Amino acid sequence: MSDPQNSKSFLFGSTKINYILSFQDRKTLGVRVYPNCNVKVIAPSGSSEEAISKKLKSKAPWIIKQLNDFLSYHPLTPPRKYVNGETHLYLGRQYKLKVEKADFNKVTLFRGRLYIQKKAETKTEKLLTEWYREKARVHFSDTLQKVLPLFAKYKIETPDLHIRNMPTRWGSCTPQGKVILNPELIKAPKGSIEYVITHELCHLIHHNHTKAFYDLQDQMMPDWRKWKERLEYSLV
């Protein structure tokens, strides 16, 4: 039998780490960090809060490293119904949906609205998904061209940019120099998009999340932490 789950947090330096605590009949404290950045702690039944927090502080550097390593995909919005008045994100800003019947299909950003004119048989969701994907293709490619000159001295080849829905990741890259981005990223602020692209380009030089990788990322985008956070916590 386990106790009900508890949301807790602790401070390590200036970093606040939230976790879910549960108890189990076991001998050691178990910690798992999930790609959605949830931290789950399973403590032996009957452990004191003091014993748990002491053990957690010793594991904090490892936990923080795991959290930083994930460039995992967090949906920026809960599922949408695609009805009038609903808000949708584009480049980090919210737009109200306005859907109108027409004898053609068209999506326009107009005065803070996402204006959809569509034929009766066309699904709003499909039309909007295609629009996002096209915007993603153009904006990601422009951002790549903007960031790439920073990497000039590393003489990396211009990577092939691919857009692909990935269930758990914002972006990834291959050793052959292919950069793959999640089209959902077009809903994020421009700085966050730049951060993901910079992160992937740094991987073309340092494949793993080593200190050298982070040093390079710091150098290429000194304020990346802010944009990573915006990407992870801009749920609306």
Nearest CB to Zn ion, comparing residues 143 and 217: 217
Interface with Zn ion by CB under 5 A: which residues?
Answer: 71
Rounded to the nearest whole angstrom, what is the least distance from the CB of residue 19 to Zn ion in the complex? 23
Residue nearest to Zn ion (CB): 71
Q: Is 9 exposed, middle or buried (0-12, 13-18, 19+ CB in 10 A)?
A: exposed
What count of other Cβ atoms lies within 10 Å of the Cβ of residue 156? 13
Question: Between helices 190-205 and 224-233, what is the axis angle to 10°?
Answer: 120
Nearest CB to Zn ion, comparing residues 52 and 202: 202
Rounded to the nearest whole angstrom, what is the least distance from the CB of residue 199 to Zn ion in the complex? 5
Nearest CB to Zn ion, comparing residues 29 and 148: 148
Rounded to the nearest whole angstrom, what is the least distance from the CB of residue 236 to Zn ion in the complex? 26
Could you give the CA distance from residue 196 to residue 202 in angstroms, rounded to a whole number?
10
Q: Rg of the chain over CA atoms, in angstroms?
A: 21
Residues 6+ apart with CB under 8 A from 132: 90, 183, 184, 186, 187
Q: Return the structure tokens found at 54.
A: 């002491």
Q: What angle do CA 62, 231, 176 make, to 5 degrees?
A: 75
Rounded to the nearest whole angstrom, what is the least distance from the CB of residue 202 to Zn ion in the complex? 8
Rounded to the nearest whole angstrom, what is the least distance from the CB of residue 208 to Zn ion in the complex? 8
Nearest CB to Zn ion, comparing residues 80 and 206: 206
Nearest CB to Zn ion, comparing residues 3 and 215: 215
